Amino acid sequence: MTLTELASETSRRFQERYGHAPLSLVAAPGRVNLIGEHTDYNDGFVFPMGIERYTVIAASPSALRRAQIFSADTNSEVTIDLESTVTRGQPSWSNYMRGVIAGFQKLKIAIPGFDALVMSSVPMGGGLSSSAALEVSTATLLEAASNHRLDPVQKALLCQKAEQEFAGVPCGIMDQFTSVMAKEGHLLLLDCRSRTTELVPLTNPDLSILIINSNVKHELTGGEYAERRAQCERAAQILSVASLRDASLPMLEADRARMEPLIYHRALHVISEIARTTEAAREMRAGQWSKLGQLMYASHDSLRDDFEVSCAELDLLMDLARKLGERGGVFGSRMTGGGFGGCTVSLVETRSVDAICQHIGAAYREKTGLEATMFVSRPAGGARVLK
């Protein structure tokens, strides 16, 4: 579904529900990270792009000082009182929006009452950041409704805070930054320390970014993310650096004896991944697809073996792509997102996309009994007002 189709469907659903056409329509994209995983909270680099999957919100002002929001994706509604300070509440999905509204309240930006309908083509919980797309589309709607534009960095940080404090996810800044600042035809090399971005073009039509959703999400104990963060902090402490961004591989080797093996391996992933990420941006600029692809495989291996955040399904999808190799049109492939399920991202030849999808889909089905969902995406632009 294109953005235009999604927007008109959202409009139609709004009209059906509220009896009139929406006055405004906003959209914010999901994202995929090409390389640089678990580096953002270590002050490192990430290399994401917006994808052609969006969360769209249709809205109209209402006479009442409250937000009435229906999510077509969860088929549920929430009413939020705007006269008092917005707090966490039910249903749980509303917290992503409540957090953003609370962020505006904190800035003393008056939000008029509104009716809204949310619809998304970003799969929920698939690692493509439907959560950031929801936050950033909400912030974009509130900017339009209040006639008050935020600075893009401030907007992304406000959305990140919403996810941290209202949804309880201790996330880094990549998702919200990308959903706000993505640029059509470009990847974003984002320095998570300085919060500056460098745009790297990707417009060659012979090359495609293929996203494959394993359609599994292993819940485990739920504490894995916080645990990895703590392990990285521990490693930085032993290495006497503010964050692993400031460490090098020789430094790590020099202090290896002073670390538990587990902490060493966590740090090894982060330090090598930060280096791979800046290198990947250079290879992308130089059009060196093979070299870029090798960095993606190395990233996957490191996430699987040293950081231990992959799972059998992601390993299988990566292996299937890797075995096809360049002769089969695949330059590189890796798990993307936090891990334990979700998607892989692959750099492939456009003319081989159909054959690759067919092969991987069939083999994945045969080995796991599961259906993988696949799509290609060009690098999409960030959040915008459509109407």
Should residue 55 be labelled a site residue for Mg ion when binding is judged by CB under 5 A? Answer: no
Instruction: Residue 22: name its binding partner from Mg ion, ligand ADP, none (Cβ under 5 to 8 Å by kind).
Output: none
Contact in structure between 71 and 262 (CB atoms under 8 Å):
no
Q: Are strands 341-349 and 196-201 parallel, antiparallel or unpaired?
A: unpaired
Report, in Å, the least distance between residue 129 CB and Mg ion.
5
| Residue 386 token pair | 């459509």
How near is the Cβ of 123 to ligand ADP at its closest, in Å? 7
Say which entry of Mg ion, ligand ADP, none residue 124 contacts (CB below 5 to 8 A, set by partner kind): ligand ADP
134's contact among Mg ion, ligand ADP, none, with CB below 5 to 8 A by partner kind, is ligand ADP
Pick from 42, 71, 95, 131 the residue near Mg ion by CB under 5 A.
Answer: 131
Q: Kindly list the distances between the CA atom of residue 57 and the CA atoms of 28, 116, 139, 277, 387, in Å, as whole numbers in the listed order.
A: 9, 7, 11, 34, 11
- The catalytically annotated residue of 43, 115, 175, 306 is 175
201 binds ligand ADP (CB under 6 A): no
Task: Report in angstroms the alpha-carbon separations of 220 from 92, 317, 339, 343.
Answer: 20, 20, 11, 17
- Binding site partner of 179, from ligand ADP, Mg ion, none, Cβ cut-off 5-8 A by kind: none
List the Cα angle 311/317/323 in 5-degree steps.
Answer: 125
Binding mask 58-97 for ligand ADP (x = CB under 6 A): -------------x-xx-----------------xx--x-
- Is 246 annotated in the active site? no
The interface partner of residue 125, options being ligand ADP, Mg ion, none and the CB cut-off 5 to 8 Å by kind, is: ligand ADP
Binding of ligand ADP at residue 118 (CB under 6 A)? yes
The residues, ordered by sequence, that sit 6+ positions from 250 with a Cβ below 8 Å of its Cβ are none
Distance CA 345, CA 34 (A): 7
Q: Among 39, 55, 68, 277, which residue interacts with ligand ADP (rule: CB under 6 A)?
A: 55
Of 128-136, 203-211, 286-294, 299-307, which part binds ligand ADP (CB under 6 A)? 128-136
Q: Which does 74 bind (CB under 5 to 8 A by kind): Mg ion, ligand ADP, none?
A: ligand ADP
How many residues are present in the chain? 387
- Of 97 and 284, nearer to ligand ADP (C-beta) is 97
Considering only residues 318 through 347, tell me which ones interact with Mg ion, judged by CB under 5 A.
Answer: none
Only segment of 38-46, 84-92, 124-132, 312-320 that touches Mg ion (CB under 5 A)? 124-132
Site string for ligand ADP, 249-288 (x = CB under 6 A): ----------------------------------------
Radius of gyration of the chain, Cα coordinates, nearest whole angstrom = 21
Which one, of 186, 187, 208, 189, lies nearest residue 197 by Cα?
189
Q: Which is nearer to ligand ADP, 56 or 188 (CB)?
A: 56
Residues 151 and 386: their CA atoms lie apart, in Å, by 19
Closest CB to ligand ADP among 54 and 289? Answer: 54
Per the CB < 8 A criterion, the answer to whether 342 and 30 are in contact is no
Please identify every residue annotated as catalytic. Answer: 175
Contact footprint for Mg ion (CB under 5 A):
129, 131
Query: Which parts of this chain interact with ligand ADP (CB under 6 A)?
Result: 55, 71, 73-74, 92-93, 96, 118, 120, 124-131, 134
